[in-house]
A = this chain, B = another copy of it.
Amino acid sequence: MREGTPVTPPPGGEFRRERLIRFSDCDPAGIVFYPQYFVMFNGLVEDWVNDGLAIGYRELIVEQRIGLPTVRLEADFRAVSRMGDHVILGLKVEQLGTRSITLGLHCFDAEGETRMRMRQVLVTTSLETHRAIEIPAHLRASIERGAT
């Protein structure tokens, strides 16, 4: 599989992308440096907003000045990922609040074994004030359309 290739989603609709574990993702122990999982998932959220929701991520951040900071996350690291591994990253919307979006994210290998799993709560903010705002209507509509 090629990096960035969309992966056929399971019924129920999970947004998926393949990702090659690169030299620059790994630490002196030869495995993914754990903060790098969050960088990879940030990229997945970016792809989801761009391709899954068909809202430009740049458009959202730069033009509309809406931020998507993380307010809470819980992560479990189950198995190590090594340089050269081809992993799959999956994203599912678990809950949609007034100002928050709860995502379920996981990283697994071709055999379906989970490497890392996390729940992440994002809030929509104004990038002028860094204060939480209601999820903008167009973003909510795209998410509700089940657009994963």
Contact = CB atoms under 8 A, between A and B. Distances in A.
B39 A24 contact: yes
Interface of A is mostly: mixed
Contacts of A56: 84
A72 B69 contact: no
Contacts of A73: 73-75
Please tell me the size bucket of the interface on A.
Answer: 35 or more
Interface in A53-74: 56-59, 61-62, 67, 69-74
A27 B130 CA distance: 13
A77 B127 CA distance: 16
A29 B127 contact: yes
Given A22-B43, A35-B36, A71 B77 contact: yes
A57 B2 contact: no
Contact of A23 (B31, B42, B72, B83): B42
Contacts of A83: 28, 57-58, 61-62
Given A24-B43, A35-B38, 15 more contacts: A3-B4, A4-B4, A24-B39, A27-B28, A28-B30, A30-B62, A34-B38, A34-B42, A34-B70, A35-B35, A35-B36, A57-B84, A58-B84, A61-B83, A62-B84
